[in-house]
Amino acid sequence: MTARPDLDAVVEALSGATRFVVTSHDNPDGDAIGSLLALHLALLELGKDSVMSLGGSTPLPEEFGFLGLATHGLVRAAPADAAERVLVAVDCAQASRIVETALVDRATSIVNIDHHHDNTRFGAVNLVVEDASSTAEVLADVFDALSLGTSPAIAEALYVGLVTDTGRFQYSNTSAKALRLAAELVEAGADPSKVFVEVYESTPLPRLKLLARALERAVTLVEGRIVVSELVRDDFEDTGAAEPSSEGIIDYLRAADGAELVALVRELPNGAATARKGSLRSRPGGVDVSAIARAFGGGGHRRAAGFSTDLPMAEITGAIVAAFVAAERDTG
Ligand SMILES: [Mn+2]
């Protein structure tokens, strides 16, 4: 075993305190939700007092409903005693991605467990494993170091994080370690077929219709090397798709032959903090889309990133094309 002072520090922080509040980022994905639940359940098994808190009022993506976060006590605001709890943030690259700012402001201390390469190390204790496929994979090592057995519920939650962040074990982050972890989680009680049906084959029809709109509106730029599409408010209204329904649509656009950079921009409802939200994806070896997202005030991974903006669609597209061309000039 190589020395892992950052892992030891997290183990010490989790062992040394008794009261925790665990959280993750806005627009939580499978890794955020799975990691959040797994850590909460692990802390309870360690005999700790843990509260799961996710800010905002946006409904959680329905494909993760089977994990039963509400049943497990999820609250959508900071607990009244947040000032007496250690905050553990999972899958959050920046403190600003934690919607409930009171959690960050009041916590006695912050433990930051993540795998984003652009993580700002905002915690007092930081475990950021950039080559981990998912935060779930990082947490599995933390639980091992805590000598915690993996219950079926923890295994299932970690498996959801692993399978979603690796694109069902297809993306370039699908390491041998990630695949070995998947096997261990299945041995511990995770059911791959059940998770597949719940996460990928329980799609409400309005969401498939929303996907059709995005595919229909896709355009190619720079000789097909960039694919851009847009969802406007009418698309949500006409199809009846609910707000988090656009998650995952970009992965279909990415399948376009020759597409090296893919962008999907969706118009947000009236009253949202910004007018639009953009998602970016690139092929392995392609441009670092997190750098493009950061230029819009967002962030993410090299292959998958996002941003929020008030810019109109034409300007967003122009900036993406310019960044793509500039990145190619710099590296080529
Ligand atoms: Mn993740």
Question: What proportion of the chain, given as a percentage, has pLDDT over 70?
Answer: 98
Q: Is the pLDDT of residue 50 over 90?
A: yes
Q: Is the pLDDT of residue 31 over 90?
A: yes
Do 195 and 272 lie in a common domain? no
The CATH number covering residue 147 comes to 3.90.1640.10
Question: 223 C-alpha vs ligand 1 centroid, how far in Å?
Answer: 32
Given this model, what pLDDT does residue 301 score?
87
Q: With bands split at pLDDT 50, 70 and 90, how would you rate the model's confidence at 2?
A: low
Closest CA to 21 of 113, 85, 114: 85
Given this model, what pLDDT does residue 263 score?
97
Given this model, what pLDDT does residue 131 score?
96
pLDDT digits (tens, 9 = 90+) for 113-162: 999 998 999 999 999 999 999 999 999 999 999 999 999 999 999 999 99
Report the chain's mean pLDDT, rounded to a whole number.
94
Surrounding ion ligand 1 within 5 Å at CB are: 31, 91, 134-135, 165
Do 196 and 212 lie in a common domain? no
Domain closes at, from 145, 167, 200: 200
Question: 120 C-alpha vs ligand 1 centroid, how far in Å?
Answer: 15
Do 78 and 226 lie in a common domain? no
Q: E strands within the chain?
A: 19-23, 49-52, 86-90, 109-114, 125-128, 219-221, 226-231, 261-267, 276-282, 299-300, 304-309
Question: 165 C-alpha vs ligand 1 centroid, how far in Å?
Answer: 6
Do 34 and 183 lie in a common domain? yes
Question: 115 C-alpha vs ligand 1 centroid, how far in Å?
Answer: 6
Domain closes at, from 200, 215, 242: 200
pLDDT digits (tens, 9 = 90+) for 254-303: 999 999 999 999 999 988 999 999 999 998 888 999 999 999 999 988 99
Question: 178 C-alpha vs ligand 1 centroid, how far in Å?
Answer: 13
Given this model, what pLDDT does residue 112 score?
98
Do 194 and 221 lie in a common domain? no
Dihedral angle, C-alpha 28, 32, 34, 35, nearest 10 °: -160
Q: Is the pLDDT of residue 1 over 70?
A: no
pLDDT digits (tens, 9 = 90+) for 204-229: 899 999 999 999 999 999 999 999 99
Given this model, what pLDDT does residue 26 score?
86
Backbone angles phi, psi at 46, to 5 degrees: -80, 0
Do 85 and 52 lie in a common domain? yes
Do 292 and 231 lie in a common domain? yes
Given this model, what pLDDT does residue 67 score?
98
Given this model, what pLDDT does residue 323 score?
95
In the chain, the number of structural domains is 2
218 vs 97, more confident: 218
Do 148 and 256 lie in a common domain? no
Question: 97 C-alpha vs ligand 1 centroid, how far in Å?
Answer: 13
Closest CA to 276 of 248, 291, 297, 290: 297
Given this model, what pLDDT does residue 136 score?
98
Do 189 and 218 lie in a common domain? no
User: Which residues span the domain enclosing 301?
Assistant: 205-331
* Cβ–Cβ < 8 Å for 131, 166: no
Do 159 and 212 lie in a common domain? no
Given this model, what pLDDT does residue 45 score?
98
The CATH number covering residue 231 comes to 3.10.310.30
Given this model, what pLDDT does residue 245 score?
66
Q: What are the distances in angstroms from CA 283 to CA 37, 187, 259, 287, 303? A: 30, 32, 8, 8, 7
Do 185 and 79 lie in a common domain? yes
Do 32 and 156 lie in a common domain? yes
Q: How far apart are CA 31 and CA 275, in angstroms?
A: 26
Lowest mean pLDDT among 53-67, 202-216, 244-258: 244-258
Given this model, what pLDDT does residue 95 score?
95
Given this model, what pLDDT does residue 318 score?
97
pLDDT digits (tens, 9 = 90+) for 165-193: 999 999 889 999 999 999 999 999 999 99
Domain closes at, from 174, 200, 226: 200
Question: What proportion of the chain, given as a percentage, has pLDDT over 90?
Answer: 85
Given this model, what pLDDT does residue 289 score?
96
Question: 222 C-alpha vs ligand 1 centroid, how far in Å?
Answer: 30
Question: 234 C-alpha vs ligand 1 centroid, how far in Å?
Answer: 31
